[in-house]
Amino acid sequence: MRNNPAVEEFIARLGLHPHPEGGFFVESFRSPLEQTLPDGRVRATSTAIYFLLPSGAFSAWHRVSSDEVWHFYDGDPLELTTISREGVLEKVTLGREITSGQRPQFVVAAGVWQAAKPQGGENGFSLAGCTVAPGFDFADFEMPDRAALLNLFPGHSAVISALTRN
C-alpha cells in the first residue's frame, strides 16, 4: 500500500498520519470562530483536512453530523459512495476529467453515510481534501461495524461488505 515514493513524499511533506477510517490525514485549518449549535454543542465554524488514500486502502463507511465538501487534488480518481438516510446509494467519481463525468468536488450532506476508494493501479493514490461546516469534531463521527450497516441497509450488502473492515 505504501510502496509508492509519491505516497511517502505526500505523507512526509504534508505531515499526514493514519486516520481511523483508513488512509492518512492532517487537519490543515480550524476556524478560530465558534458557533453554538441548537443542541448546545460548540464547534468551530469550519475545518479542513488533507486526506490521502493509497491504492488498496479505503475510507470505511462513516458519517458526520455536519456537511462535508470533498475536494480532489491529485493522483487517481476517487470513487465516493454515499447512502442517504432513506437508503439511496449514489456513487460519484472525484477527479480531473470533468468532460468524462468526474467532479473536482462533491458535497456529502450531514448525516449521510459515506465511504471512498481510489480508482488507480496498485502503486497509485488519491489526494483529496475535506472541508466540514460546522467544523469537524470526533464526537460527531460514527463508524459502525459491518453488521450494524447491513442491518440498516440489507439491500446494499456488496458495497457495505467491500468498504468495512469488520
The CATH code of the domain that includes 24 is 2.60.120.10
Total number of domains in the chain: 1
Q: Is the pLDDT of residue 113 over 80?
A: yes
The confidence band for 2, taking pLDDT boundaries of 50, 70 and 90, is: low
Q: How far apart are CA 71 and CA 74, in angstroms?
A: 10
- Across 61-73, b (16+ Cβ under 10 Å) vs e yields bbbbbbebebbbb
Rounded to two decimals, what is the model's pTM?
0.94
Domain span at residue 48 reads 5-162
pLDDT tens, 11-36?
Answer: 999 999 999 999 999 999 999 999 99
pLDDT tens, 119-135?
Answer: 987 779 999 999 999 99
What is the rounded average pLDDT of the residues 54-69?
Answer: 96
Chain-centre distance for alpha carbon 165? 15
Residue 89 in contact with residue 81, Cβ under 8 Å?
A: yes
How far separated are the first and last CA of the chain, in Å rounded? 19
Q: What DSSP string runs through 73-117?
A: EEES-EEEEEE-TT--EEEEEESS-GGGT-BSEEEEPTT-EEEEE
What is the rounded average pLDDT of the residues 85-105?
Answer: 97
Residue 8 in contact with residue 28, Cβ under 8 Å?
A: no
